[in-house]
Amino acid sequence: ETGVTQSPTHLIKTRGQQVTLRCSSQSGHNTVSWYQQALGQGPQFIFQYYREEENGRGNFPPRFSGLQFPNYSSELNVNALELDDSALYLCASSLGTGANGNTIYFGEGSWLTVV
Amino acid sequence: AQSVTQPDIHITVSEGASLELRCNYSYGATPYLFWYVQSPGQGLQLLLKYFSGDTLVQGIKGFEAEFKRSQSSFNLRKPSVHWSDAAEYFCAVGRVATRQLTFGSGTQLTVLP
């Protein structure tokens, strides 16, 4: 139990639609990152939010966007869904981004299937 | 750019045998290294991490890993594997300052009775 909760756990969308995934970070954690894990692969970094500001982005197109709220919860939005967007989306939270060695905790993920 | 290589896609061991999973990384500064385990359909559970200090790191479930800077490696070990250890294992490296992780492609562990 990491204290990071994600919703929904599973969903099916049609190509071209839009989806919003949600993440509640562990209490007190002000940094949230999102990862995409395609079947049979390791997670890939999408972006990170620190104190409501985007703080780094991986190699993902602009149709992947995010938001962090004052309570540090976060949303991942994907527009114009493509079949290749089918994956497990993982949220990770931690305290700060400095060199303090704090642990990064992952949620159970949201399974997205695009048909 | 940072990268992680896990050269073994699939490893099979007998219950009670020792285990070593290999991880090599490429990184231009002080790395922040992790091992995570993932059971089917589940999220990632942290086994252990290296941030600084002692290069031999102890983790949960009897796992340990050794950071070898000269070899750019962070191999995971366990002296005696249990059937419940069957899962996929991921090595990851991150910038200390940002916590943005780069993962390897994973090693699938099968444990024979």
Tracing tokens 């703080």 back to the chain, one arrives at A55
**Mind telling me how many Å the CA of A80 is from chain B's nearest CA?**
26
Residues comprising chain B, all counted? 113
Residue type, B77: R
CB contacts of B100 in chain A (<8 Å) are 33, 45, 48, 56, 58
Which has the closest alpha carbon to B4: B23, B21, B22, B30? Answer: B23
A103 vs A24, higher pLDDT: A24
pLDDT value, residue A94: 85
Q: What is the pLDDT of residues B86-112, one digit of tens each?
A: 999 999 998 766 668 899 999 999 999
Task: Give the model's pLDDT for residue B100.
Answer: 82
CA atoms of A83 and B70, how far apart (whole Å): 42
Token pair listed for B27:
């990184």
- Local confidence band at A55 (pLDDT 50, 70, 90 cut-offs): confident
d(CA B44, CA A90): 9
The residues of B whose Cβ lies within 8 A of any Cβ of A are 4, 32, 34, 36, 41-46, 49, 51-52, 90, 92, 94, 96-106
Hey, of B48, B95, B100, B102, which one would you mutate to test binding to chain A, going by the most A CBs within 10 A of its CB?
B100
Residue B64 confidence (pLDDT): 97
- Asked whether the predicted pLDDT for residue A99 surpasses 80, the reply is no
pLDDT at residue A98 tops 60: no
The per-residue pLDDT for range A15-41, each reduced to its tens digit, is: 999 999 999 988 888 889 999 999 989
| Whether B21 contacts B11, CB under 8 Å | yes
> DSSP characters for A36-59?
EE-TTS--EEEEEEETTEEEEE-S
Backbone angles phi, psi at B61, to 5 degrees: 60, 25
CB contact under 8 A, B105 and A42: yes
- Strand, helix or coil at B60? helix
- The rounded average pLDDT for each run of 10 residues, N- to C-terminus, in chain B (113 residues) is 92 97 88 91 88 90 94 96 96 78 95 95
Whole-number mean pLDDT of chain A?
A: 91
The mean-pLDDT minimum among A67-71, A103-107, B12-16 falls in A103-107
Q: Which two tokens stand for residue A12?
A: 């099916």
Q: What is the share, in percent, of chain A residues with pLDDT greater than 70?
A: 95
- Please name the residue of chain A whose CA is at the shortest distance from the CA of residue B46: A105
DSSP state of B70: G
pLDDT level of residue A101 (50, 70, 90 thresholds): low
For A8-12, A100-104, B78-82, which range has the lowest pLDDT when averaged over its residues? A100-104
